[in-house]
Copies of this chain bind each other. A is one copy, B any other.
Amino acid sequence: MVKWFSGKSVRIEVPRLRSRSNVLPTEKVALAEFAPDVMGFLGRAAYVQLKIFETLSRVITNAPTTAAKTAIGKAAELSLGKHRALVAEITKAGGSPADVMDPFTDAFDEFERISRGTDWYESLITAYLSAGFFDDFYAKLAEGLPTESRTRLVTIFAGESGEQVLAEYLQAAIDANPRLDSRLAMWGRRLVGDMMLAARSALVFPDHTRTTEAQVEPVFGELIAAHTRRMDALGLTA
């Protein structure tokens, strides 16, 4: 398992903001400050795992070898397991899973559609980058939820992921095809923007009308750094 963040027990170094209304553009801010309500969190997070599963299952169906199908199957199983755990949290919180997820399906269906890519390698790097990005995103965001569910939720996203095996298949493909790296680097750069847009819709800002891009951008600082490390791991320029 690859862990880009240092684990759930580590505290964020930046001081908690004094109040949500005085976020300054120059201040380092934590995603947790902008957490939505629990159901808004769970609905999005559970549905995203379904879409990551759909991406992975297409990768499995189109895989060039039986070995790749079996190996990537483990990643798909882990996504389904996270989805199921989040659905159980919705039920535990008194919600009906489909009703809680449905308000967010359009945005993530659209993300899944535009992130499909034109061949197996683009789908594979989408699965690798987006599974990691959204696990990181929801793990960080969960830190802003009420204590009661926070620990369980952070644990779900910190759980085993298929990232390592996806990286191995990407690395093998890049090694075997010298022209693949520049194409995948371009794809990864495009994808990070789409992922931030899809993630951003979950954030609740103190004063929505006065929120500027400059205030939103720093929230994604750690996520972008983790994305860059995922690209670096494959020798790709982020």
Interface residues of A (CB under 8 A from B): 46-47, 50, 53-54, 57-58, 60-61, 65-67, 69-70, 73-74, 76-77, 80-81, 83-84, 87, 97-98, 101-102, 105
Chain B residues, Cβ within 8 Å of A57: 53-54, 57-58, 60-61, 76
Contact of A105 among B54, B66, B76, B97 (CB under 8 A): B66
Known: A54-B61, A57-B57, A98-B67. A83 touches B73 (CB 8 A): yes
B67 touches A60 (CB 8 A): no
Within the assembled complex, what's the spacing in Å between the Cα atoms of A69 and B97? 11
Known: A54-B57, A67-B97, A98-B65. A80 touches B83 (CB 8 A): no
Chain B residues, Cβ within 8 Å of A77: 77, 80-81, 84
Within the assembled complex, what's the spacing in Å between the Cα atoms of A81 and B87? 19
Interface centre among A65, A66, A102, by most chain B C-beta atoms within 10 angstroms, is A66
B61 touches A73 (CB 8 A): no
Contact of A70 among B73, B74, B98 (CB under 8 A): B98
Chain B residue nearest to A87 (CB atoms) is B70
> Could you jot down 7 A-B contacts, CB within 8 Å?
A53-B73, A57-B60, A57-B61, A67-B97, A67-B98, A77-B77, A77-B80
